[in-house]
Amino acid sequence: MTTSYNACVDYFLDSLTGRSPQTRRNYECDLEQFKLFLVLMRPHVVTRMDQERLNQLKAELRKSDGKLWDTELLSRNYKTRLRSQALLDWFDVEIDRIRKEDVLAFFAFLESTKGVSRSTLLRRLASLRQFFRLMVREEFPVCQETLDKLNDIRIPAERKLPVALDEDEVMGFLRSIDSERDRAIIVVMLFMGLRVSEVVQLNVNDIQPGQRSITIRGKGSKERQIPIHPIVHEAVQAYLKVRIDAPADDLGEPLFVSNRKKRIDPSTIRRFIKRYSLAVDELEMRKKQRLSPHKFRHTFATLLLSNGVDIRYIQELLGHQHLSTTEIYTAVSSTELEAAIAKHPLGDVGTDQSS
């Protein structure tokens, strides 16, 4: 029984009776992509190797900026596609040398490559599963553990980003606010990234003039240090001049107070956000309908990200164990956090929005 990857792929493609030409081509592309990865990254499984030919293949790949996805196999340039494919066809792989580690390395590479969609990952996984299942069923000399690992691999669902406001929308929202208290609350969320539950727990002595940072106790009683942007100080001081006196409760003397002289609750914040959003011309109806306190927290993160702040700092500021592409928690110094907050794109927002 042959151990040639090329021969096994031909056998597999011949077995696809009744399938459309496009389906067959998709399988062929996926299997060729896997082979290309093995030739370039896993030379221990390659049986035919020639350095000059390998250099020629790499030269063709460099024409597509070195991206595996922009090779001849997916190129719209017919001549380039034929040239590169002919070079790749010369190489062969020993199929019984392919192990689960090679498969894991392939999909780790795919997942780390920008522009590779989840649908592409799922298709490549399905193609390799079908291929190795046939090889096992027909008793080709493949490693059973390789198929087992392919069956175990799961491609995580793509996370859809929540609604976030851009800079113009934020400015429009701030202009719509007619209350110093409400404006201070929105500014705190925009410049500190707090959850609404964290905002309502703030006390008067938490944000004092000249104070550089505040300790926030978040989910799971985890504490984090948040630098206080000058715009936050400005908004809070303007609010304190008109703040309604309210007695202390179990948490202390509340910073943000309701008309009933009690600590403000999250539902009040949700209501006034909805009310103000309806008056913002810059907001499309979809965002008006979905705007909530959490959207301002997400706006805080996305605005910083889009303006070049390291995601490690944002991860720390939000108190997340994971954020977007961040996989592990990374501690950063308070100085770096202050520098991150200083880069906030809305730093020129003042308390006077009448103009």
Burial 149-186 (b: 16+ CB within 10 A, else e): bbeeeeeeeeeeeebbbeeebbbbbbbbbeebbbbbbb
Cβ burial, residue 279 (10 Å; 0-12/13-18/19+):
middle
Token digits of residue 190 = 């925009």
Determine contact, residues 247/261, Cβ cutoff 8 Å.
yes
**How many angstroms separate the CA atoms of 26 and 218, rounded?**
48
Reduced to 3 states (helix: H, G, I; strand: E, B; else coil), residue 140 is coil
Tokens of 49: 């190797």
Q: What are the strands, taking DSSP E only, across the chain?
A: 46-48, 92-93, 213-217, 223-227
Tokens linked to 115: 């522009």
Closest listed residue to residue 123, CA positions, set 69, 58, 76:
69
End-to-end CA distance of the chain: 81
- The answer to whether 130 touches 27, Cβ cutoff 8 Å, is yes
Among the listed residues 235, 190, 192, 187, the one whose alpha carbon sits nearest the alpha carbon of residue 214: 192
**H/E stretch holding 129:** helix 118-137
Structure tokens at 159: 């996370």
Grouping H, G, I as helix, E, B as strand and the rest as coil, residue 4 is: strand
Q: What are phi and psi of 29, to 5 degrees?
A: -60, -45
169/287 Cα distance (integer angstroms): 10
Instruction: Please list the active-site residues.
Output: 195, 219, 294, 297, 320, 329
Residue carrying structure tokens 């609404």: 196
